Amino acid sequence: MNRITTGQLADGRQIIYVDGPDAPPRRASDTRPLGDRVPSGELRWDALVGDWVAVAAHRQERTFLPPKDECPLCPTGRGSVPSEVPETSYEVAVFENRFPSYAPVSLGGESVDAGGLFETRPAHGRCEVVCFTSEHDSSFKELPLERVRRVIDTWAARTAALGAMPEIEHVFCFENRGREIGVTLHHPHGQIYAYPYVPARTAQLLARAEEHLAKTGRLLGADLLEAERADGSRVVLESEHWTAYVPFAARWPLEVHLAPHRDVPDLPALGGEERDDLAVAYRELLRRLDRYHVGPAGEPLAMPYIAAWHQAPARVGREASRLHLQLMSVLRAPGKLKYLAGSESGVGGWITDVPPERQAQRLREVAS
């Protein structure tokens, strides 16, 4: 059972502590002189492709790779500067991002439609930071299973709470790890974006899922999982409730999908046993990622990665959507990155450097 404590930071942003029943009470106050919150940015309509782009100039000032003693995600008292987390310790902490791409409705903004080609609207939504642990030098894969389960519960609870907000259309939980990915803070953490629209990639996935459902009466995600399990050559691991596999048309030098055996649209729909099993399977996958590449002396190399939870939008297409995690990395070999250059960035024509079957074989070889 998790104990939830909600508080407020000095500028009015919300902070939420997710603890076990034996954790100390959370009563610390944020005494920093932060001033007012940044106002909401804006969304601009890209008429060329039919998608929204967020403009958030204040993010240019966000903290960038500070030294350990200035980490804003460590508990207060461990460094030389005040932290975003007032407590001196925590298990899991969630707070509104100080430099958000999307901000609450209360921070204002107006819509402008200049003939349909230059339409703008306020970037209303919410951006949250999820701190997985108070230990700066740790990582997700080093968390004990009960703490992994607590993070999973946090993702599910925040998905439900944010998705219930009237202005929110989609909730996206993700983690960026590694300088190569572009992280600005090394402390183990992830983020949650609550969008006021359905993002383009999610809309594309949903359109294919709805088309498949209309033609076959079955879920596309379920049929893909069944086909991968039947083939077996790209399956990485299987448990009672989950299967991990490298997709047949993987785009990244390392890409793994982790899917539940039961048809569920999102994280809140997972049952207790499925969450327990997910904690085991997900942690094992992350541990294998860090053994995938080896250095000159045979030492394992930490894998930069993006972990992205694809779940149903808050209001549309839920009957066709099926939850899955996508793990991906730009590291194609030690010291060599996969750059999204001309073909990928220019026209979206993806070229895979490492065959999916080879990826899966290596991930099986490095099992714990």
Express each pLDDT in 143-158 by its tens digit.
999 999 999 999 999 9
- pLDDT value at residue 66: 95
Residue 61 has a pLDDT of 87
Q: What is the pLDDT of residue 79?
A: 83
| φ, ψ (nearest 5 deg) of residue 195 | -95, 150
Q: What is the band of 362 on the pLDDT scale with cuts at 50, 70, 90?
A: very high
Residue 243 and residue 309 in one domain: yes
DSSP-assigned states of every residue in 270-330: --HHHHHHHHHHHHHHHHHHHHHSB-TTS-B-PPPEEEEEE---SSSSTTT---EEEEEES
The predicted model gives 84-104 an average pLDDT of: 96
Final residue belonging to a domain, choices 145, 168, 197: 197
Longest dimension (CA), the chain: 62
pLDDT surpasses 80 at 115: no
| DSSP character at residue 327 | E
Q: pTM of the prediction? A: 0.97
310 is in an annotated binding site: no
Q: Considering the chain, what percentage of its residues have pLDDT values greater than 90?
A: 92
Strand order in the sheet with 42-46: 51-55, 42-46, 120-122
Residues 160-192 pLDDT 10s: 999 999 999 999 999 999 999 999 999 999 999
Q: What is the 3-state secondary structure (H, E, C) of 58-96?
A: HHHHCCCCCCHHHCCCCECCCCCCCCCECCCCCCEEEEE
Report DSSP state, residue 137.
T
Residues 105 and 218 in one domain: no
Residue 316 is part of which domain span? Answer: 201-365
58 marked ligand binding residue: no
Same domain as 263, residue 128: no
Identify whether 189 is a catalytic site residue.
Answer: yes
Domain final residue, candidates 148, 168, 197: 197
What is the per-residue pLDDT across 56-85, written as a single tens digit (0 to 9) for each?
999 998 999 999 999 999 999 998 888 999
Could you tell me if 153 and 230 lie in one domain?
no
Residue 127 assigned as binding residue: no
Q: What is the pLDDT of residues 194-214, one digit of tens each?
A: 999 999 999 999 999 999 999
When pLDDT is cut at 50, 70 and 90, the band that residue 111 belongs to is confident
Number of structural domains the chain divides into: 2
Cα separation values, 179 from 12, 156, 292, 329, Å: 31, 27, 18, 12
| Same domain, residue pair 175 and 216 | no
Cα–Cα distance for residue pair 34/278, rounded to 1 Å: 39
CATH number for the domain harbouring residue 254: 3.30.428.10
The encoded tokens of residue 40 equal 């909401």
Determine which one of 124, 186, 189, 310 is catalytic. Answer: 189
CA distance 3 to 19: 5
Find all residues with CB under 8 Å of 207, minimum gap 6, and list them. Answer: none
The answer on 205 and 183 residing in a single domain is: no
Are residue 328 and residue 222 in the same domain, yes or no? yes
Pairwise CA distance, residues 175 & 91, whole Å: 17
Report CA torsion sign: 102, 104, 105, 107.
negative
CA separation for the pair 142, 289 (Å, rounded): 13
Q: Is 74 annotated as a binding residue?
A: yes
How far apart (Å, rounded) are the C-alpha atoms in residues 309 and 170?
12
* 354 and 250 in a common domain: yes
230 and 175 both lie in a single domain? no
In the listed set 148, 173, 197, which residue is the last one of a domain according to the structure?
A: 197
19 within 8 A of 3, measured Cβ to Cβ = yes
Q: What is the identity of the amino acid at 115?
A: G
- 96 strand-pairing partners: 128
Tokens at 298, concatenated: 């045979």
- Phi, psi at 259, each rounded to 5°: -130, 145
User: Do 260 and 344 fall into the same domain?
Assistant: yes
- For the segment 6-18, what is each residue's pLDDT rounded down to a tens digit? 999 999 999 999 9
**One domain for residues 7 and 135:** yes
Residues 148 and 293 in one domain: no
Contacts of 331 (CB under 8 A, 6+ apart): 180, 253, 254, 293, 301, 303, 304, 337, 338
